Structure formats: C-alpha cells, structure tokens
Amino acid sequence: MNNLLDTPIEYLKNVGPNRGALLRKELGIHTYGDLVNLYPNRYIDRTRYYKVNELRDNPAEVQLIGKIIHLKTVEAKRGKRLVATFTDETGTMELVWFQGHKWVRESLQLGVPVVVFGKASSFNGMFNMPHPEIELLKDHEQNLRSALQPVYPSTETLTSKGISNRVVNKMMQQLFLETQAMFAETFPAWLMDELKLIPKNAALFNIHFPKSADLLAKAQFRLKFEELFFIQLQLITKNLIRKHKIKGHPFTKVGDHFNNFFNHRLPFALTDAQKRVVKEIRNDMGSPAQMNRLLQGDVGSGKTIVALMSMLIALDNGFQSCLMAPTEILANQHFNGLSELAEGLGINIKILTGSTKTAERKIIHEELENGTLHILIGTHALLEDKVQFHNLGLAVIDEQHRFGVEQRSKLWKKNDIPPHVLVMTATPIPRTLAMSLYGDLDISVIDELPPGRKPIQTVHRFDNNRLKVWKFLKDEIAKGRQVYIVYPLIEESSKMDFKDLMDGYESISRDFPLPQYSVSIVHGKMKPAEKEAEMQRFAQGKTNIMVATTVIEVGVNVPNASVMIIESAERFGLSQLHQLRGRVGRGAEQSYCILMTGHKLSSDTKTRLETMVRTNDGFEIAEVDLKLRGPGDLMGTQQSGVLNLQIADIVRDKDILQLARQYALKILKDDAPMQKPEHAVLRSTFIALSKKKNLWNYIS
C-alpha cells in the first residue's frame, strides 16, 4: 500500500500535469502521500439546513434546500451580473454571479431540488448569496461527505487558478476511492490499547471526512501523537547512538584544582541548583561517552562558576578547555570573570579574538600546542585551522543559538576523540520547546539566583510621566548609582531609529548637563574600538548614564548600574526585554527597570508589559512569549527552529508532546534497536521516516 502513496500527484484522476505542478509549487504536494497529509485547518458545520426566513446577517456560511425558478442577466455600470431566484417553502432569495456566467448558465437546472451553500447578506430587505456552491440534492445525499466540512490550507494562486476548497475536497475523495483507505498501521497493538488510539485508517478518514465531532477529536489526537512521537523517537535515538558511538574522555579524577577552588576560593556558597548541575556534569564527564549538555540559567544565575568548575575537572585529568562566545564583548567579559575567579590557582588562561595582536597570537598557538595553556577563551577565532590544541577535553559554548551546527562540529574535529560539550544559554527556553529543539542534548537548569540578589523592581510608565522618571534618575545618581537608557534599533541601519537615538541622547545631555553628569553613547555605527572605550568609561564609573541601542543586550557587566530604562518598550519582544533587564541587578543594591511607552498599545503589547512587571522568572516569561509568538519566532532566525509540523502545535499540544516523549523513552529503554516482534511495525515506520524525512526537515 505504501508504494501507492509514493505515486506522483498528477496521476490522480482529474489532477493532471498542470494542476500537479501548481500543487507542488504552492503546497509542496508531490505524491498521494503528501495529499493525505494535507490536513484541514478548520471545519464548517454542515449538519444544519436553514430556511430562507431564518437567515440573518452574519459572516458564517449556511446551506439551504430549495429550487431555482428564474435566471436573468442584469446590466450595471460596473459590468454584468447573473441573478438566479432561489425559493423554498418559506420565502425567496437571490443567488448572484459576477463572473463565469456562461459556465454557470449551462450548469444550472431550473425547478430541480438543489442544495446551495455560501455566505448570505441582506440588501434592500432581500437576502442574496454571491457565488454559492450548488449541488443537486440527489448527488448531495450520495457523496462521500460529512457533517463537518473540512477547509484546507490554500493560497491566492490556487484559488485564482480554480483549485478551490471544493476541488481539493474532490481530490481527497478520489484519493480515498483509489487507495480504498488502506493505510498501514504505524503503532503496535499494546500502545494503541494503552492510549485508546483509533487505527491509522480511521484517523485519516475522520480527519478528512469526520463522521462526528467526537471522531474528529479522536483522529486529531491520534495524528498529533504520532507526529510528535516519531520526532521524539528520532531525537532520543540520536542521543543514545551518540552516547554509544561517540566515545569521550572519561574524567574519573576530581583533583587538586577542583578541590582547592571549591574549598578555599568560592566567592560565595553555591546554590542548591548550582550543586545539582555540577553533579550532573561530573557524572557525564566521568563516563566514557561524550557529554553533550545544555545548561540553561537566567541572567546572573551563576553559570560562569559552573563552567569554571567543569574546566577544573578537565584540568585535573590533564586536559585543556575552551570557551567560545558569540561577540568580542562577551568573550572579554568571560575572560575577566574567569581570570578573577581563578586567581591564585596557578592556571594559565588566555583570550583569542579578532583583535588579538600577531605577537600575542604566536604565544597562544605555541602554548596551546605544548599544553601549557590550560583555558582559552575566544570568539569564532577559535575555529580557525591554525588553532591547534595539545589535548582539548571540554568545549563550553555560550549562547549557542548564535552558532550553527557546522561551526560547533569544527571544534570537535580538533581532536581524535571529541571533547565534552557544555552549551550555555541565558535565554530560558520553555521545556516543551527545549524537548523538541534540543531533544538530543541532556538539559540542566539553574533555576535559583545566588543569595543576596534582590529581585529587580519593574514598572511601566507612559511618556508623559518622563519628568518624574528623570527626577528618580537624579536621586539614584546622587546615591552613586549608574543608569542605562536603551533605544530600539531594529535594523542597525534604519534611519528613523537612529534619529530617535540621537535626539534622545541630545535631550538627555541637556537634562543631565556637564560637569555634574556625564553621558556615554554606544550604537552599531561606531567602530569596535570606540564602542569598547565608551563601555570601559561606563564600567569604570567615569560616566553616569549609558545611552545605547540593543548592542548591550548581551555582554556588559557593571554591578554599580541599578536602573535600566527601555524607551519605546512596546517595540521589543518579551525575551529581549528580559535580557535587557538582566543588565542591572548585578550588585547588592535594589535595582529598577522602567518600561517607557506611548499610550497606543495593542493587546499583545499590554500582555508583554504586564508579564514583565509581574515576574522576574525567565522560564515563565518564555512560556508567555511562546504563546504570543509561536515557536517559529522564538528562536530568532539563524537557527529558527521553526518546527514544520503538519498537524501538531508545540504550544497548544504540549501535553501530547510530553506523553509522546514519555512513550518514546519507555520503548527505547526497553528495546532500543526495536528488535522485538511487537515493535516490528515501529521499526519499519521509523526507518521509512528517517529515509524520507530527516529530523532536520522538522527543525530548520
């Protein structure tokens, strides 16, 4: 049966080469199988037949049974229209066509019972229905149709070329006739029983021609579960294979470097979450398989210390480590942070970026190769072929969504045995999305802030409260604090935004005049060296206010800065607002975030601002963000993680996703190669899917 589903779509009766080419181009439908998997995105209830005297003005489509008793052409200024008089026992209405008159005239029969379907509206006290669907009552009663009529995804091109919803519906009927609805079952009987799933045949039939609302719900559940289950099966299998096949260096020793740091050098006691994560990493690195772990933790949760402790374990076992960050600013910040933490431990730490001088590079390359350099921090510069390690044991990658998969694998190839990999992100990813995008990584979460950190107080203020806000800033500066003021610059080149930034800078300079106040500015049009100099002035406390675009979203650490003002906050996404807020609250003082907006706000914007004011929890914020924006936008475009799912929705169906993952894990724990007789059907479906649809088709 399955080979019948591979038949090219043009061979289906009434499709042909022209329609086939359109379906390929517009909806990506190449074969019978693709058509079966074109699921409706909504349904129209056709269980009810209206009478003419029951019609009301509303946008819903309705159907009536009656007869056409008269046809006429009406000339008007804007062209001709064809008008038919339709009647039933309660009254009369008009059916109207503005085009295709000749074809309509030939197809209509007067005085014969018909069913008409469309949107009715009243005009001069009489109802009319433009371009209705019309079917003879006797055909209507015989057709393979259901009470709930499917509405399929479409495009303007398809509609204009005559491939209407009704035509797609006809193709679907034809397909079910030709294949006799014999679709291979993909699940073992025990799983179907346990979850009370309806068979694949019944599910596909009822998704296209639902017999009832109840059967439609069962069909949707079955098909959503199936889609998510096979993705999870692929992700988890990948993870298992990697653990079996890709050997790592087993770091069995926890030695002097680690113990010395842990017992004498910790700046403050680890939180329970940090302890838990360090333990997970120690277990991973102590096993003979390569570690691949994602470490999620909100801004300021102490990921850097965890990274350093992991590097010390590598060093105790005689191996080097590297840390790769997406920008020079961030690399410098990691270098300063780690150097400070590791002071007095006798560790050689260096930094390599695009602006490292040639003489310094030479020393780094030599020390790397002879093994005297223990930890190297850097940007993409670490990936250059010239950078050769003596023995790289651990690679830490920060803000991984800014690095492609290929770039990461370059790091692996620097060794015969690939290093352990720890991926860090301060972008909290909701669990459901993490399970789908990073399902092949093990996930650790630091979900508590270090002691002594006060939660940042966030408020929303309108532009007309600016004077009060400025007064508040002056009070904070008088206490010796510093302030960020951030402007949106969505495209680094957009002139309007740039003008706003410069106007803002000028008015702030007027309101906070020298010599009492000093203002820094940082934006994307400045040269890296200028940016760095301005950042340094602010970091050293020489300026009180930093006016900036979102370049400071990642990579500035000034514990003395206690106020973050975000201008035009309505133009930022939630995760960006949360990242910006995380730039303050890094010292022991109470910090504040003030969201400034105009009065005109959409309901989504209000939800975003209310969420920011209500909570500091990055994971809760990520959940709201996912609901507002959908999974596609959440990951940004570089690795957009748009899941090309056919029927499931990661946000709405997260319960089904968790169930699917649970069952995939259960099956693989019990029978990883799927060799048991009762899993034969799973195995063959899995192999077929892997050939046809690699996992990365789902995750772009």
CATH of the domain at 85: 2.40.50.140
The C-alpha atoms of residue 602 and residue 36 are separated, in whole angstroms, by 39
Residues 268 and 408 in one domain: yes
The total of other beta-carbon atoms located within 10 Å of residue 621's CB is 23
- Per DSSP, 455 falls in state P
Residues 429 and 532 in one domain: no
Q: Which two tokens stand for residue 536?
A: 């340094």
Residues 442 and 535 in one domain: no
Residues 442 and 463 in one domain: no
pLDDT at 467: 94
Phi-psi sector, 427: left (phi>0), alpha (psi -120 to 50), beta: beta
- DSSP states of 392-430 as a string? EEEEEEESGGGS-HHHHHHHHTTSSSPPEEEEEESS---
Domain limit, last residue, from 127, 144, 161: 144
pLDDT at 401: 57
Enumerate residue ranges in the chain where pLDDT < 50: 553, 632-642, 696-700
pLDDT at 4: 87
Q: Do the strands 375-378 and 320-324 form a parallel or antiparallel pair, or are they unpaired?
A: parallel
- Per DSSP, 264 falls in state I
pLDDT at 65: 95
Q: Is the dihedral of CA 689, 692, 698, 700 positive or negative?
A: positive
Helix, strand or coil for residue 631?
helix
Residues 411 and 481 in one domain: no
Q: Is 16 inside a domain boundary?
A: no
Residues 269 and 384 in one domain: yes
Total-model pTM: 0.65
pLDDT at 638: 31
Residues 264 and 324 in one domain: yes
With a CB cutoff of 8 Å and minimum separation 6, the contacts of 412 are 395, 418, 419, 421
Q: Is 691 inside a domain boundary?
A: no
Residues 438 and 474 in one domain: no
pLDDT at 691: 79
The C-alpha atoms of residue 305 and residue 309 are separated, in whole angstroms, by 6
Our count of domains for the chain comes to: 3
CB 68 within 8 A of CB 114: yes
CB 108 within 8 A of CB 68: yes
Residues 366 and 476 in one domain: no
Q: Is 333 inside a domain boundary?
A: yes
CB 319 within 8 A of CB 392: yes
The C-alpha atoms of residue 208 and residue 176 are separated, in whole angstroms, by 10
Domain limit, last residue, from 446, 479, 499: 446
Q: Is 118 inside a domain boundary?
A: yes
Among 58, 76, 75, 55, residue whose Cα is nearest residue 125: 55
Helix, strand or coil for residue 384?
coil
- CATH number where 330 lies: 3.40.50.300
CA distances from 458 to 196, 392, 468, 630 (A): 48, 43, 15, 25
Domain limit, last residue, from 75, 109, 144: 144
Q: Is 5 inside a domain boundary?
A: no
- DSSP states of 307-332 as a string? HHHHHHHHHHTT-EEEEE-SSHHHHH
Q: Which two tokens stand for residue 453?
A: 């950190």
Residues 515 and 437 in one domain: no
Q: Is 653 inside a domain boundary?
A: no
Residues 374 and 512 in one domain: no
pLDDT at 83: 94
pLDDT at 493: 56
Residues 262 and 289 in one domain: yes
pLDDT at 634: 42
CA distances from 520 to 230, 255, 473, 509, 538 (A): 53, 46, 15, 10, 7
Q: Is 428 inside a domain boundary?
A: yes
Provide the domain limits for residue 489: 457-615
pLDDT at 453: 76
Helix, strand or coil for residue 357?
coil
